[in-house]
Amino acid sequence: MHLNYGKPKRTMAPEPLVTPPMTDPEPVPHCDVCGALAEQQSSARRAHDMSRVSDLNIEIRRHPHEGR
Ligand SMILES: [Zn+2]
């Protein structure tokens, strides 16, 4: 019988820059989504919810943008 060695890892994330996780990413200036995420992040930071802050860091960093 064929053994299943688990699901292949998805390595689709295009991350050209390796940014240290401690650094806040720059939200893209004219992007509503990034702006909203950055706002949520600052309120999370005010609430000292650091796990949410770093979640939002990841979301901001991963938000795709067309063109540059
Ligand atoms: Zn964005």
State pLDDT tens for residues 11-24.
666 666 655 555 67
Q: What is the pLDDT of residues 26-63, one digit of tens each?
A: 777 889 999 999 999 999 999 999 999 999 999 998 99
Tokens representing 18? Answer: 């390796």
Identify the DSSP state of 24. Answer: P
- State in Å: Cα 59 to ligand 1 middle: 9
13/16 Cα distance (integer angstroms):
9
pLDDT of amino acid 27: 75
pLDDT at 8: 66
Q: What is the CA(68)–ligand 1 centre distance, in A?
A: 11
pTM of the model: 0.59
Cα 49 to middle of ligand 1, angstroms:
22
pLDDT at 26: 76
Distance CA 49, CA 46 (A): 8
What does the domain layout of the chain look like in residue ranges?
A: 32-62
- CA of residue 44 to ligand 1 center, whole Å: 18
